Amino acid sequence: MSSKLPIASSKINPYRLINLLRLVVLGFFFQYRILNPVSDAYGLWMTSVICEIWFAVSWILDQFPNWYPIKQETYLDRLSMRYEKEGKPSELDAIDIFVSTVDPMKEPPLITANTVLSILALDYPVEKVACYVSDDGAAMLTFETLSETSEFAQKWVPFCKKFSIEPRVPQWYFSQKMDYLRNKVHPAFVRERRAMKREYEDFKVRINHLVSIVQKVPKEGWTTQDRTPWPGNNVRDHPGMIQVLLGQDGVCDVEGNELPRLVYVSREKRPGFEHNKKAGAMNSLVRVSAVLSNAPYLLNVDCDHYINNSKALREAMCFMMDPTLGKKVCYVQFPQRFDGIDSNDRHSNRNVVFFDVSNVVV
C-alpha cells in the first residue's frame, strides 16, 4: 500500500548540520551553568539546572526521528484494488470522526458547520463514515446549526463528488482565488457551481440569523419546535442528548444517494460531578459511537479544523490496512496547516514541519 522513497542528502544534511551546531552550543551552555553555580541561591540554581537538563534531553529525543526521516508514497489504487472489488461491498474499515465544540459564541457555528461539511464530503464509502459532534455547552444554537448543516449537505456532498471539488469546505472553496475551471470539463460545472454558491450564501444567512436570535435569551429559556423546554437551558444540569441527523437509511442527498451518518451528542451534566472538560466529552463520544457504529478507527478533529484533502482517510488506510505493516502501526497523524497567516507571520504560527503524514510503528 506504500513504499519508502530516498531523501536527497542535499535536503537532509543541512538540517543535520544545524542540529549538530545546536548540540555543541548546548554543551557549552551546560558547561558554563554547571561550572558556575550560584552560591547565594544554590537550591534555585540546582532546580533550574535540573529543569534545563530535562528540556535538553527531551529535545535530543525529539531529534531522533528527524535525523533519519522516512519519505513514503501511498498507492490509493492498490488500496481500492484490494478492498473495493467491483460488484462487491467495500471492505475498507469504518472510521468514526469526532468533532468537539463548547461555546458557539466563542467558536463560530459557521466554522463548525464547514468542518462538518468537509467530513461528510470525504472520498470514502458513506456507510463507513460517521461524524459525531460533541456539544459540551448543550447550546441550542449548535443543534440548530447542525440541523441546517444536514440540509445543506444534501446538496453540497453530491456537488463535491460529481466535480471532484478540493477542498471540500465551502467557505474556503468559494473564497480562494484560483482558476476553478482548471481540469473541469463537465459542461454543467459553471452553472451548477454558480447555483451552489448561491445556496451557500443562503446557508450563511440562515446561520447568521440563528446567531442573531440567540443574543436575546428568553426569560423562560429556549424551547424546541414542539414548545417543550430545551434540555440544555441549564448548562451545568441537564440530561444527555443524542440526535441522529443523517445516515443509515435516513435522509438522502438530492440525487438519492445515502449520506454519511451525522450525530449530535451533548453529554449529561449534574452538579457535584466533575465532567473533566474535553476528556469527558471524548469519553462520551467513544461510548455513543460504540453503540451506533463501533468503528475500529477513530479520528479526532477540532471544530475549527477542516479536512483539506478528501482522500485523507484513504491515505491513512494505506498504512493501517497494509497486510504487512498494518499490525505494527499505532496511529496516523496529519499535521495542522493554518489559513489567513500574514506575510510576516508575526505570531509564528506557520507551523512548518517535515511531514505531511506521520505514523508510529512498533
Residue positions forming the annotated binding site for UDP-alpha-D-glucose: 100, 106-107, 136, 277
What residues form the annotated binding site? 100, 106-107, 136, 277-278, 302
Q: Which triple of cell numbers denotes residue 242?
A: 443524542
CA gap 351, 166 in Å, rounded: 22
Q: Which helix (H) or strand (E) holds 29?
A: helix 9-35
Q: Which triple of cell numbers denotes residue 319?
A: 498504512
Quick one: DSSP state of residue 257?
-
CA gap 203, 303 in Å, rounded: 18
Quick one: DSSP state of residue 233?
G
CA gap 153, 159 in Å, rounded: 9
What residues form the annotated binding site for Mn(2+)? 278, 302
Q: Which helix (H) or strand (E) holds 133?
A: strand 129-135
H-assigned helices in 74-186: 76-83, 109-120, 140-163, 170-175
- Candidates 141, 101, 143, 112; CA nearest to 285 is 101
Quick one: DSSP state of residue 36?
S
User: Which residues, in sequence order, are bridge partners of residue 298?
Assistant: 96
